[in-house]
A and B are shown apart, each in its own frame.
Chain A
Amino acid sequence: MTAVALRAEGLSRRFGETLALREVTLEVRQREVVGVVGENGAGKSTLLKLLAGAIAPDAGQISVRGAAVRWREIRDAADAGIGVMFQEPSLVPGVSVAENILLGHEGPAVRFGIIRWRKLFALAKVSLAKLGIKISPAAVTHSLSFSERQLVAFARALAVEARTREAPIILLDEPTSALDDRDIAAVLRAVEELRMRASVVFVSHRLEEVLRVCDRIYVMKDGQCVAECDARTSTVDALQRLMVGHAMGTDVTREVAASHVEGTVCLEVRQLGRRDEYADVTLAFRYGEVLGLAGAAGSGCEELCRTLFGIDAPQSGTMLLDGQVVTLRDPSDAVGRAIVYVPAERASEGVIGEMSVAANMTLAYLAQFCGRWAIDTRREWDVAELWIRQLRIATPSATARVSDLSGGNQQKVALAKWLVGERPRMLILDHPARGLDVLARRDILAAVRELARDGVCIVILADTLDDLLAVSDTVIVMRDGRISARYSVAGDRPTQQLILEGMV
């Protein structure tokens, strides 16, 4: 039995109210490549950040080569021989490739405080050679393409090898995303080579690649490790089923729609495109209909929603609102046309924590709460009380600070903001139930279906496929910037696995 290089036991981590990781136990043995797969929000990135020392666990223990460790920062983990490549390129744009690879560890190349460039370049070349790529260590990092920068980040993770006598442990978060085939092959080759002298944790949503290079695979779902598989005997299909959970979706919350009457078209997009985000998107959003968007990170779903709300302008294609061609200049333009948006990051984008519930609710349509000159605080209070009752928001009063409320109630306030005025044309919800408990989730989704019944056109990026199927009339699946599948839930209802296949 090969020795264990890295072991995580009972790791838990909470962000505010959200339990991102729940008692996760896994281990990586020496000269082994371990894969970690799971849906968006399953906890993969959080796990990796814990293993890299970027954040500390709330509970649980990490041990390296049998010895328990308590890290305060990434550097501590790096000194223990752990090299990381994060998903967001974490490189410094204005300096050379060599400096990025050796950042913080230039030691041997610096004598009496003076940098010896030739030595620095030579050291960097060692790491670059392991990947077999021809990037000059003297090149300025911002002049490289995204793929090249990704590879430099990989080389940086590998540089830890020179600093430790033990076999290093390399953590890779989505190392092949956004790379072209040639570079993907180089990365996978490097991982296979690494197996001979190091341990690797390979986090990815590309299941074929995971099956190819890994020895064992952990499947994560909802912050927990739900399965451990042998890569040799596993298949993409089996992995997907484990990722999704139960085979058939049993959704209690959805009433079976009888014959769904098609509403008129509210917004139509034709061949909408934004470079490097999405392309050739043609969709019709109808009044009274809930359209669910499903896609992995980078699939174009979130980016499309940003365009619909006027945050980013489309570079090609047209948008037609109620039949008229429209160009949204910015979010205030969208709001002016009754297209509204509930953002994913509730605390930093959805509500102002330091303001009262009432002030938050009236923020978007404040003009309607003004008398001749001044804000009519009485009317504000009355309307706030109304919506507190309607949405069952648990708050001591309408004047309580929003930051004192629980996440679910904060989200209800964020939603109410768009309902205090006249009914919106289109409501876009970006992961509205993220981190909420079951009751709050049910309330939000019920409110969404109620709004659809009232004729509002809804676009939703659901947090889980469960929710998606529970609330949507139409499901659009996107992958790599394009629409890969369309389903009508009332008609040929798709299974969760079918949707997942369209996503990855």
Chain B
Amino acid sequence: MESRHRPGILSVAPTAVRGALRASGPLLALLALTIGFALADSDFATIANLRVILDSAAVPLVLAVGMTFVIRQGSIDLSVEGMMAACSLLFACVVANDRMQVNLGWFGLPAAAALGGVFGLANGLVVTRLRVPSFMATLGMGAIALGAAMLMSGDQPPLIQDPVLRQWGLGQTFGLPNLALAAASCLVVGLFVEQYTRLGRYGYVIGGAEGVARASGLDVDFYKVLGFAFAGLLIGLAAAMESARLGLGHVGIGEGKMLGTITAVVIGGTPLSGGSGSVRGSAVGVLTLAVLANGMVFIGATPDLEKAIQGAIVLVAVVVANWHLRDRLRIVK
């Protein structure tokens, strides 16, 4: 039962303030973290280090934009690591490399993205047609993609020999890392899709009230599949970016990325149950984790703990976000 009171100014204001706080929470956390590390070590707050942070955040950002769409519609994608592996191998095989004669040059990027899109499509179909819960479907799909990557890799991972692409992966333009610029473009595209297309808007509807969506005649299954496919495209692109930087197609290229991506999206304000959140918040989340990892090196903490810290962060974030929803009869599986 909701409030029966007449909404006067006084009763509206606190909600507005609370809402604003919740929205800017992630940003405040990022600022606090940055300032904290800057105070701890003066070498942290240099332009050079800023570039390092942006560079390290590039691939995670592309992944997070895609993951935002999936989580917002109420699903989850646990296939990131396997999909990145497969797309990385494909990319390395179709651009100038030491194993095959193919040389697609820049077209390697859309090729990798396309493979990612196909895998994403498969994810969506398994969820909507076979009625397999998304965490299980993507877990299985990820393994299949990983196996495919292993097949493509064979005994020796293919080395990328295209100098232009390698330069793109490692170099800068206007003082900013190329990959960071590419990631920023993906962010802009994500924002546009989120605000101005049905894929974006219906994602909010399906995640927030799927029953209402169906009753209103929305083709829920179609948009769910589209959401997975969109995320898949971005995962493929991210794999290509990382491969260009590393210079090879690698089966382990996605290792550890899954937890990091989900953590970034969650702390950026998108609830795991879906229905709200924006890629803007996910970008803040990605930057926060990048600053955290970078700063930890400066204060001497071991980088191995990164995974453990991400796990702890996502746990705390989800517990805090869901605390007010607790109910004695609420069923959570």
Q: List 14 A-B contacts (CB under 8 A).
A: A75-B217, A90-B215, A93-B276, A94-B275, A95-B205, A99-B201, A103-B205, A103-B213, A104-B216, A113-B197, A115-B198, A143-B19, A147-B4, A277-B1
Q: Chain A's nearest CB lies how many Å from the CB of B26?
A: 17
Contact (Cβ within 8 A) A95 B204: yes
Contact (Cβ within 8 A) A330 B328: yes
Contacts of B218 in A (CB 8 A): 103-104
Q: Nearest CB to that of B2 among chain A residues?
A: A146
A-B contact sample (7 more), CB < 8 A, given A94-B204, A311-B328: A75-B216, A90-B211, A93-B208, A113-B198, A180-B4, A303-B1, A330-B328
Indicate whether A178 sits within 8 Å of B2 (C-beta atoms), given known contacts A94-B208, A143-B16, A312-B328.
Answer: yes
Indicate whether A90 sits within 8 Å of B4 (C-beta atoms), given known contacts A104-B218, A113-B198, A330-B328.
Answer: no
Q: Chain A's nearest CB lies how many Å from the CB of B114?
A: 20
Contact (Cβ within 8 A) B215 A74: yes
Q: B332 interface residue, CB < 8 Å from A?
A: no
Q: A255 interface residue, CB < 8 Å from B?
A: no
Q: Chain B's nearest CB lies how many Å from the CB of A287?
A: 27
Q: A405 interface residue, CB < 8 Å from B?
A: no
Contact (Cβ within 8 A) A145 B275: no
**Total A-B contacts with CB atoms under 8 angstroms apart:** 99
Instruction: Kindly state the separation between the CA atoms of A311 and B326 in the bound complex, as whole angstroms.
Output: 12
Contact (Cβ within 8 A) A99 B205: yes
Instruction: Kindly state the separation between the CA atoms of A178 and B1 in the bound complex, as whole angstroms.
Output: 9
Contacts of B197 in A (CB 8 A): 113-115
Contacts of A117 in B (CB 8 A): 196
Q: Which residues of A pack against B, CB within 8 Å?
A: 54, 73-75, 78, 90-95, 99, 103-104, 106, 110, 113-115, 117, 143, 145-149, 178-180, 182, 276-277, 298, 303, 310-312, 330-331
Q: B7 interface residue, CB < 8 Å from A?
A: yes
Q: Nearest CB to that of B210 among chain A residues?
A: A92
Contact (Cβ within 8 A) B212 A90: yes
Binary contact readout B190-220 vs A (1 if CB under 8 angstroms, 0 otherwise) = 0000011110010011011101111111100
Q: Chain A's nearest CB lies how many Å from the CB of B230?
A: 13
Which residue of the partner chain, among A104, A113, A179, A310, contacts B217 with CB atoms under 8 Å? A104
Q: B320 interface residue, CB < 8 Å from A?
A: no
Contacts of B215 in A (CB 8 A): 54, 73-75, 90
Q: Chain B's nearest CB lies how many Å from the CB of A106?
A: 8
Q: B129 interface residue, CB < 8 Å from A?
A: no
Instruction: Kindly state the separation between the CA atoms of A311 and B327 in the bound complex, as whole angstroms.
Output: 8
Instruction: Kindly state the separation between the CA atoms of A331 and B276 in the bound complex, as whole angstroms.
Output: 33
Q: B131 interface residue, CB < 8 Å from A?
A: no
Indicate whether A74 sits within 8 Å of B217 (C-beta atoms), given known contacts A92-B205, A145-B3.
Answer: yes
Contacts of A91 in B (CB 8 A): 209, 212
